[in-house]
Amino acid sequence: MSPPVILVDPLPRTLDLIMEPDVRARLERLGRVVVSEDKPMDDATIDALLPETALIFGQTAMPAERIARAAKLKAIINVETNFLPNVDYEACQTRGIPVITPGSAFAPPVAEAALGLALDLARGITAADRAMRAGTEEYGLAGNRDTFRFAGAPVGLIGFGDLGRNLRDLIRPFRNPVAVYDPWLPGEIIERADCRPASLEDVLSTSKVIFVFASVTSENQHFIGAREFAMMQKDTAFLLMSRAAVVDFPAMLDAVRSGHIRAATDVFPEEPVAPDDPVRKVEGLILSAHRTGGTVDALYAIGRMAVADAELIMRGLPPQLCRRADPAVASRLRSKPVSVT
Amino acid sequence: MSPPVILVDPLPRTLDLIMEPDVRARLERLGRVVVSEDKPMDDATIDALLPETALIFGQTAMPAERIARAAKLKAIINVETNFLPNVDYEACQTRGIPVITPGSAFAPPVAEAALGLALDLARGITAADRAMRAGTEEYGLAGNRDTFRFAGAPVGLIGFGDLGRNLRDLIRPFRNPVAVYDPWLPGEIIERADCRPASLEDVLSTSKVIFVFASVTSENQHFIGAREFAMMQKDTAFLLMSRAAVVDFPAMLDAVRSGHIRAATDVFPEEPVAPDDPVRKVEGLILSAHRTGGTVDALYAIGRMAVADAELIMRGLPPQLCRRADPAVASRLRSKPVSVT
Amino acid sequence: MSPPVILVDPLPRTLDLIMEPDVRARLERLGRVVVSEDKPMDDATIDALLPETALIFGQTAMPAERIARAAKLKAIINVETNFLPNVDYEACQTRGIPVITPGSAFAPPVAEAALGLALDLARGITAADRAMRAGTEEYGLAGNRDTFRFAGAPVGLIGFGDLGRNLRDLIRPFRNPVAVYDPWLPGEIIERADCRPASLEDVLSTSKVIFVFASVTSENQHFIGAREFAMMQKDTAFLLMSRAAVVDFPAMLDAVRSGHIRAATDVFPEEPVAPDDPVRKVEGLILSAHRTGGTVDALYAIGRMAVADAELIMRGLPPQLCRRADPAVASRLRSKPVSVT
Amino acid sequence: MSPPVILVDPLPRTLDLIMEPDVRARLERLGRVVVSEDKPMDDATIDALLPETALIFGQTAMPAERIARAAKLKAIINVETNFLPNVDYEACQTRGIPVITPGSAFAPPVAEAALGLALDLARGITAADRAMRAGTEEYGLAGNRDTFRFAGAPVGLIGFGDLGRNLRDLIRPFRNPVAVYDPWLPGEIIERADCRPASLEDVLSTSKVIFVFASVTSENQHFIGAREFAMMQKDTAFLLMSRAAVVDFPAMLDAVRSGHIRAATDVFPEEPVAPDDPVRKVEGLILSAHRTGGTVDALYAIGRMAVADAELIMRGLPPQLCRRADPAVASRLRSKPVSVT
Kindly give, in sequence order, each residue whose CB lies less than 8 Å from that of residue A120, ignoring residues fewer than 6 positions away.
A126, A264, A286, B116, B120, B125, B126
Whether residue C127 has pLDDT greater than 90: yes
- How many angstroms separate the CA atoms of A306 and A312, rounded? 10
Contact: C141, D299; criterion CB under 8 Å: yes
Q: How far is CA C50 from CA C8, C42, C54, C59, C90, in A?
A: 12, 12, 8, 14, 19
What is the count of residue pairs from A and B with beta carbons less than 8 Å apart? Answer: 187
Contact A59, A10 (CB under 8 A): yes
Nearest by CB to residue A289, choosing from B115, B139, B299, is B139
CB C170 within 8 A of CB C150: no
CB D210 within 8 A of CB D323: no
Q: In the predicted model, is pLDDT for residue A118 greater than 50? A: yes
Other Cβ atoms less than 10 A from the Cβ of C191: the count is: 12
Q: What share of chain C is helix, strand, coil (3-state, %, to 5)?
A: 40, 15, 40
Residue A337's pLDDT is 47
Residue range A38-62, pLDDT digits in tens: 999 999 999 999 999 999 999 999 9
pLDDT at C336 over 80: no
Q: Are A102 and A322 in contact (CB under 8 A)?
A: yes
H-type alpha helices, A211-248: 226-231
d(CA D159, CA B206): 43
Q: D212, D191, D208, D93: which is closest to D148 by C-alpha? A: D208
C330 pLDDT above the threshold of 90 = no
**Contact (CB<8Å) A320/C186:** yes
Residues of A in contact with B143 (CB under 8 A): 289-291, 294
The b-or-e profile of B285-318 (16+ CB within 10 A means b, else e) is: bbbbbbbbbbbeebbbbbbbbbbbbbbbbbeebb
Q: Does A303 touch chain B (CB under 8 A)?
A: no
CA distance A153 to A209: 7
pLDDT of residue D331: 62
Three-state DSSP class for residue A314: helix
pLDDT range class, residue D208, cuts 50, 70, 90:
very high
Out of B94, B304, B305, closest to residue D94 by CB: B94
Give the one of C90, C312, C328 whose C-beta lies nearest to A186's C-beta. Answer: C312
Contact B289 A123 (CB under 8 A): no
Kindly report, residue by residue over A153-171, the tens digit of the pLDDT: 999 999 999 999 999 999 9
- Give the residue extent of every domain in chain C: 5-102+296-330, 106-287
Sheet of A32-35, strands arranged across: A32-35, A5-9, A53-58, A75-77, A99-101, A323-324
Q: To 10 degrees, the CA torsion angle through B82, B86, B90, B93?
A: -60
Give the chains touching B; criterion: ≥3 Cβ pairs < 8 Å: A, D
User: pLDDT value at position C333?
Assistant: 59
Residue type present at position B328: A
CB interface of D with C, residues 100-129, below 8 Å: 108-109, 112-113, 115-117, 119-120, 122-123, 125-126, 128-129
Residues of A in contact with B147 (CB under 8 A): 295
What sections of A50-183 are H helices per DSSP? Answer: 64-69, 89-95, 107-123, 125-134, 162-170
A240 forms beta bridges with A212, A265
Asked whether this complex has an ipTM greater than 0.90, the answer is yes
**Which pLDDT score, from 0 to 100, does residue A1 have?**
67
pLDDT of A341 above 60 = no
Number of B to D CB contacts under 8 A, please give it: 57
DSSP string of B117-162? HHHHHHHTHHHHHHHHHHT----GGGGGTT---STT--EEEE--SH
pLDDT digits (tens, 9 = 90+) for A169-206: 999 999 999 999 999 999 999 999 999 999 999 999 99
Query: Which of residues 166 through 185 in chain A touch B, CB cutoff 8 A?
Result: 169-174
Please state which of the four CATH numbers 3.40.50.720, 1.10.1060.10, 2.70.98.40, 3.20.20.70 is assigned to the domain occupying C106-287: 3.40.50.720
Quickly list DSSP for D274-312: PTT-GGGG-TTEEE--S-SS--HHHHHHHHHHHHHHHHH
CA neighbor of D106 nearest in space, from D239, D193, D215, D248:
D215
Which helix (H) or strand (E) covers residue B327, if one does? helix B327-330
**From the centroid of its chain, how far is CA B144?**
33
pLDDT tens-place values along chain B, 341 residues long: 689 999 999 999 999 999 999 999 999 999 999 999 999 999 999 999 999 999 999 999 999 999 999 999 999 999 999 999 999 999 999 999 999 999 999 999 999 999 999 999 999 999 999 999 999 999 999 999 999 999 999 999 999 999 999 999 999 999 999 999 999 999 999 999 999 999 999 999 999 999 999 988 778 889 999 999 999 999 999 999 999 999 999 999 999 999 999 999 999 999 999 999 999 999 999 999 999 999 999 999 999 999 999 999 999 999 999 999 977 666 665 555 444 34
> Smallest Cα–Cα separation from C26: which of A187, A180, A197, A199?
A187
Smallest CA-to-CA distance from A63 within A45, A50, A74 is with: A50
Q: Is D22 on the interface with B (CB under 8 A)?
A: no
Chain C residue nearest residue D174, CA to CA? C170
Tell me the average pLDDT across C22-51.
97
How far, in Å, CA of B13 to CA of B57, rounded?
11
Best probe of the D interface among C81, C149, C267, C291, by most D CBs < 10 A, is C291
DSSP C22-45: HHHHHHHTTSEEEE--SSPPPHHH
Nearest to A183 by CA among A161, A210, A168: A161
CB B306 within 8 A of CB B299: no
* Nearest CB to A172; choose among B119, B173, B297: B173
Q: What are phi and psi for residue D162, nearest 5 degrees?
A: -60, -40
The residues pairing with D5 across neighbouring beta strands, listed in sequence order, are: D32, D53
Q: Which C residues 129-168 touch D at CB under 8 Å? A: 129, 131-133, 135, 137-144, 147, 149-151
State how far Cα A217 lies from the chain centre.
14
Confidence of residue D215 (pLDDT cuts 50, 70, 90): confident
Q: Which pLDDT score, from 0 to 100, does residue A330 have? A: 64
CB distance from A90 to chain C under 8 Å? Answer: yes
Per DSSP, the residues of C134-166 read HT----GGGGGTT---STT--EEEE--SHHHHH
Q: Do C294 and D338 touch (CB under 8 A)?
A: no
| Cα–Cα distance measured from residue D337 to residue D341, given in angstroms and rounded to the nearest whole number | 10
What percent of chain D has a predicted confidence (pLDDT) above 90? 92
Cα distances (angstroms) measured from residue B280 to each of B283, B286, C262: 9, 9, 68
Q: How many CA atoms does the CB half-sphere of D154 hold within 13 Å? A: 15
Q: Å from C281 to nearest chain A CA?
A: 41
Rounded Cα distance, B192 and B184, in Å: 16
CA distance D149 to D167: 17
Phi first, then psi, for residue B75 (nearest 5°) are: -170, 155
Computed from CA positions of residues C221, C222, C227, C233, in that sequence, does the dihedral angle turn out positive or negative? positive
Quick one: closest CA in B to D327, which residue?
A: B96
Cβ <8 Å between C94 and A96: yes
**Residue A230: predicted pLDDT:** 98
Lowest mean pLDDT among A7-16, A320-329, D192-201: A320-329
Residues in C closer than 8 angstroms to D116, CB to CB, are 116, 119-120, 122-123, 125, 150
Q: Which of residues 195-224 of C touch A (CB under 8 A)?
A: none
Considering all CA atoms of chain B, what is the largest pairwise distance in Å, rounded to the nearest integer?
77
Q: Nearest 5°: phi and psi at A302?
A: -55, -50
C187 touches A at CB < 8 Å:
yes
Do the domains spanning C5-102+296-330 and C106-287 agree at the CATH topology level?
yes
Nearest CB to B186; choose among D96, D187, D308: D308
DSSP D114-144: HHHHHHHHHHTHHHHHHHHHHT----GGGGG
Q: Which of C162, C169, C106 is nearest to C301 (CA)?
A: C106
Interface membership of A28 toward C (CB under 8 Å): no
∠ Cα B262 B266 B270 (to 5°): 110
Minimal C-alpha gap between A135 and chain B (Å): 6
Contacts of D113 (CB under 8 A, 6+ apart): C119, C123, C125, D241, D266, D288, D292
Local structure of A287: helix, strand or coil: strand
At B124, the amino acid letter reads G
Residue D218: per-residue pLDDT = 74
User: Coil, helix or strand for C226?
Assistant: helix
Pick the CATH number of B5-102+296-330 from 3.40.605.10, 3.50.50.60, 3.40.50.720, 3.90.1170.50: 3.40.50.720
Return the axis-axis angle of helices B162-170 and B107-123, rounded to nearest 10°: 50
Q: Say how many residues make up chain A.
A: 341
pLDDT of residue D145: 92
> CA–CA distance from A53 to each of A61, A83, C317 (Å)?
14, 20, 31
Under DSSP, the state recorded for D38 is S
Among C12, C43, C3, C16, residue whose Cα is nearest residue C296: C16
Q: For position C338, what pLDDT does the model report?
A: 46
Q: List own/partner pairs for B125-128 with CB under 8 A and 24 or more apart.
A: B125/A113, B125/A116, B125/A117, B125/A120, B125/A126, B125/A286, B125/A288, B126/A120, B126/A125, B126/A126, B126/A129, B126/B286, B128/A287, B128/A288, B128/A289, B128/A291
Q: 3-class SS at C217?
A: strand
Cα separation, C115 vs C168, in Å, equals 10
Mean pLDDT computed over D326-338: 60
Taking the C-alpha atoms of residue D212 and residue B15, their distance in angstroms, rounded to an integer, is 39
For residue D239, give how far its alpha carbon lies from the nearest alpha carbon of chain C (Å): 13
Contacts 24+ apart (CB under 8 A), D274-281: D275/C135, D278/D253, D279/D253, D280/C132, D280/C133, D280/C135, D281/C133
8 Å CB contact of B295 and A113 = no
Distance of CA A275 to the CA centre of its chain: 25
Give dist(CA D261, CA D254) in Å, integer.
Answer: 9
The helix/strand count (H/E) of chain A reads as: 14, 13
Q: Which of A52, B296, C174 is nearest to D174 (CA)?
A: C174
